[in-house]
Amino acid sequence: MEKFIVVGAGLSGATIARLLAEDGNDVTVFDKRATLGGNAYDYVDKNGITVQPYGPHIFHTEYKDVFEFLSRFTEWRDYEHRVLANVKGRLVPVPFNLTSLEKCFPAARADRIRKILEQEVGEGKSASILTLTDHENPEIRSFAEFVYKNIYYKYTKKQWGLSPESLGGTVMERVPVSVSYDDRYFTDAYQCMPSEGFSAMVNNILRHPRIKLRLKADAKKLLSLSDGVIFYKNKPFRGTLIYTGRIEELFDYKFGQLPYRTLKFKIKTKNTASYQPAAVVNYTASKPYTRVSEFTKFACEQKDKTVIMREYPKKCGTKDMPYYPIPTEENLALYGKYADEAKNYKNLYLLGRLAKYEYINMDVAVRRAFELYENIE
């Protein structure tokens, strides 16, 4: 009988499985898919281009322990992510910075705003767009309203199907205004990509004699929960279940389905070495898709051809893949019912984006697995 069952072979599940295995435990890892890495799965196409079919993933972190752990399972290549936004036909860096300011405003006004931002926010620092729209200086408020309307509001509405105000501050805090000319999307100490891809890295994490991997296997068909008891293969399970999937699915949707946004992807190979000037170009208003990613630029590869991906956000149906939890008060209250239900099962632990109903970066997924490992009884 298994001592530990981990449901999900994404980065969260792989990390906790590896930690437990290295501690001398037998672990069985289930995943419905035939592939490893969850939504970070990638593959090399016939032209030798690394493609991420579930959308672009970039590793970045301030956590040295996370970087060192993952470095055991992959070599790295340096990569600094840069994003441009199409604003009324102009391509400007995002997060919005001083270069963006100079591209969107007349020189005299841009210089005036820059000086005020450097004085009020601080040279080289960042500020939330929500903070700037409430600033006492009318010049700053006017600038912030332009950025909010043209960079964030329309994009957010397209991405989430809701106004930014409905989502609370967590979504908007992810995209501040930078008072610098640094056009990198992230400023973390460690910014890189696995040299052989994320799937290869996760495969290496899970390669351990005490880890039994079951792909194309729906663990839910073997699991049921009732009155504080977990049943596995119709018998009470005395081991530990670590679940990284949709929490409402685990409890048979007894309180209803948690809302998510999903994405439709259109991937095309282009007969050109370069399609666009940056790895990602956001389309805030002019197109039905939110962004176009170019995969040769993520890999810093020079090829005769390139691969692009367009992303179309939409409401997540029961058969769609959930990507983004929608953090409205109503939805978080519904999640709370499931989280409270989970507390009735002493040998059940929730881990990861779907089980915790929150959007988290890859480094945080690993860090949360570290924390869980320290707290498993």
pLDDT tens digit sequence for 234-252: 999 999 999 999 999 999 9
CA 13 to chain centre: 15
Enumerate the β-bridge partners of residue 51: 43
Residues comprising the chain, all counted: 377
Q: What is the mean pLDDT of residues 58-67?
A: 98
**Digit-coded pLDDT (tens) for 117-168:** 999 999 999 998 888 988 889 999 999 999 988 888 888 888 888 877 777 6
Q: What percent of the chain has pLDDT over 90?
A: 85
The torsion defined by the Cα of 362, 364, 368 and 370, in degrees rounded to 10, comes to 80
> Residue 155: what pLDDT?
85
Phi and psi torsions of 112, nearest 5°: -65, -45
Q: What is the pLDDT of residues 262-296, one digit of tens each?
A: 999 999 999 999 999 999 999 988 789 999 999 99
Torsion angles phi and psi, residue 366, rounded to 5:
-65, -45
Residue 236, H or E segment: strand 235-236
User: CA–CA separation, 314 vs 249, rounded Å?
Assistant: 21
State pLDDT tens for residues 76-91: 999 999 999 998 889 9
Both tokens assigned to 268:
């095309």
Check: CB of residue 242 under 8 Å from CB of residue 349.
Answer: yes
The pLDDT of residue 74 is 98
CA-wise closest residue to 201 among 101, 71, 315, 350: 71
Beta-sheet strand order (sheet of 190-194): 59-61, 190-194, 76-78
The average pLDDT across 94-100 equals 95
Percent pLDDT > 70 in the chain is 97
Is residue 33 within 8 Å of 268, Cβ to Cβ?
A: no
Mean pLDDT of 341-354: 97
Task: Say how far apart CA 87 and CA 92 lie, in whole Å.
Answer: 7
Euclidean distance between CA atoms 154 and 170, whole angstroms:
17
Radius of gyration for the alpha carbons in the chain, expressed in angstroms and rounded:
22
Q: What single string gives the DSSP state of each residue in 338-367?
A: HHHHHTT-TTEEE-SHHHHTS---HHHHHH
More confident residue, 308 or 176: 308
Helix and strand numbers, DSSP H then E, in the chain: 14, 22
For the stretch 194-230, pLDDT in tens is 999 999 999 999 999 999 999 999 999 999 999 999 9
pLDDT at residue number 152 = 84
Ordered domains of the chain (ranges, CATH): 4-79+192-259+324-375 (3.40.50.720), 94-178 (no CATH)
* Distance from C-alpha of 261 to C-alpha of 277, rounded to nearest angstrom: 28
**pLDDT of 70 above 80:** yes
